[in-house]
């Protein structure tokens, strides 16, 4: 039976609570819980804390106990199936049973092998009615929030997200190499928010040598810092590189055995990993599996053209987005595509004029603006259970014709 609108709304509330676990609960999934009394009054809410800390259900039960709310005969709305195993904490399913609830509504089943339906079974065996959401906004929101956890459990690799700061015609730098800043402060803050979501941030040695980035989270609040990973075949990362500074851990992955350089990086506080591939470069698919095995669910890639190109290989890319800025650079004479129609155009002949203007209209009947490319994603095959892969809503960008009319 489909869930009621009220159930959907309360599951979405649970997902909203779970968003507060971003930058806090990794590698555990982000979960939220809402409790009501038998009379339909709000009793308590909670979200999952740091790994080893209380889960969402326990936090909500504590909130209900703090205000003396009676839970016998009440209902819980949970964004992910309650766990049924002893890990760092006792089973949440047992805590809900002990509270005397009569109904539990779940937005999404937990595919983790030690749960995988056992939480629902345990609740039903205790006489509790359990309803699991089908296709709809609550399930979709719960999937999107835990996309990294789902990818790690179901596919054995992180969910990749490629971040590109690009000009209107897809360039990441001017011909002389200047690239700061293509975007503005709001885009940079948004980029830090995506870093906060990730278990690791990946870059290449070219970016380290050219830009000396820090790649930590600074512009948004966070409890955790992502692991910073450098793909560096020859272990050429300077020991004085800024990303080797605290906060957070750093992993430098190479393909050539360089004992002296590896020792210098270890002395600077980095972890090193030798992972050669058949082509003499770092084995990227193997690196993904290693990261997933160590709890990385979302992998955020900020790199140059070489590593980005490898990241877009259909065998392991997931999604990407760019952050174009109205009035940003565009190569003179570039063909741009309208957002709303198939028309291609050359807006102006001068880079400087583009730099001082907002996105121009394409000049045709649709009145669309040209363009604000948001994604050039390549999408992965479906999940193992047959569900379609979640991806960025924007379709892959089409290439202009060889000789536009």
Alpha carbon distance 243, 213 (integer Å): 6
Is 271 an active-site residue? Answer: no
Name the catalytic one among 57, 81, 298, 302. Answer: 57
DSSP secondary structure, 67-122, as one string? TT---TT-EEEESSPPP-S-SSS--HHHHHHHTT-SEEEESS---STTTTTHHHHH
Q: Which long-range contacts (CB under 8 A, 24 or more apart) does 30-33 make?
A: 30/79, 30/145, 30/146, 30/149, 31/55, 31/56, 31/57, 31/78, 31/79, 31/80, 32/56, 32/78, 32/79, 33/57, 33/59, 33/60, 33/76, 33/77, 33/78, 33/79
Bridge partner list, 78: 33, 106
From 252, 306, 315, select the one nearest 285 (Cα to Cα).
315
Token pair belonging to 403: 């000789």
Just list the catalytic residues. 57
């Amino acid at each position: 039976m489909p869930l009621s609108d009220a159930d959907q709304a309360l599951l979405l509330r649970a997902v909203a609570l779970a968003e507060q676990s971003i930058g806090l609960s990794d590698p555990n999934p982000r979960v939220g819980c809402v409790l009501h009394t038998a009379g339909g009054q709000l009793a308590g809410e909670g979200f999952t804390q740091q790994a080893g800390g209380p889960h969402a259900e326990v936090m909500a039960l504590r909130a209900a106990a703090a205000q003396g709310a009676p839970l016998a005969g009440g209902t819980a709305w949970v964004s992910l199936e309650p766990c049924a195993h002893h890990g760092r904490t006792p089973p949440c399913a047992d805590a809900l049973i002990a509270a005397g609830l009569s109904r539990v509504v779940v937005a999404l089943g937990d595919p983790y092998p030690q749960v995988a339906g056992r939480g629902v079974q345990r609740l039903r065996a205790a006489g509790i009615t359990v309803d699991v959401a089908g296709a709809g906004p609550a399930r979709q929101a719960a999937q999107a929030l835990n996309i990294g956890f789902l990818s790690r459990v179901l596919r054995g690799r992180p969910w990749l997200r490629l971040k590109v700061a690009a000009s209107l015609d897809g360039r990441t730098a001017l011909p002389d190499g200047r690239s700061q800043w293509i975007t503005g402060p709001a885009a940079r803050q948004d980029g830090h928010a995506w870093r906060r979501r990730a278990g690791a941030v990946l870059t290449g040695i070219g970016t380290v040598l050219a830009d000396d980035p820090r790649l930590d989270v600074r512009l948004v609040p966070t409890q955790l810092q992502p692991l910073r990973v450098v793909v560096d075949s020859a272990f050429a990362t300077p020991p004085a590189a800024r990303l080797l500074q605290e906060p957070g851990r750093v992993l430098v992955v190479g393909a050539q055995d360089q004992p002296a350089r590896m020792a210098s990086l270890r002395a600077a506080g980095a972890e090193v990993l030798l992972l050669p591939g058949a082509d003499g470069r770092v084995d990227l698919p193997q690196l993904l599996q290693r990261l997933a095995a160590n709890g990385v669910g979302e992998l955020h890639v900020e790199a140059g053209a070489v590593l980005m190109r490898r990241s877009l290989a259909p065998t392991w890319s997931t999604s990407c987005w760019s952050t174009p800025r109205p009035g940003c650079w565009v190569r003179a004479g570039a063909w741009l595509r309208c957002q709303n129609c198939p028309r291609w155009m050359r807006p102006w002949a001068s880079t400087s004029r583009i730099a001082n203007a907002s996105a121009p209209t394409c000049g045709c009947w649709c009145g669309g603006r040209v363009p604000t490319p948001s994604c050039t994603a390549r999408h992965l095959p479906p999940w193992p259970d047959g569900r379609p892969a979640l991806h960025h809503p924007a379709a892959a960008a089409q290439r202009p014709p060889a000789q536009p009319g």
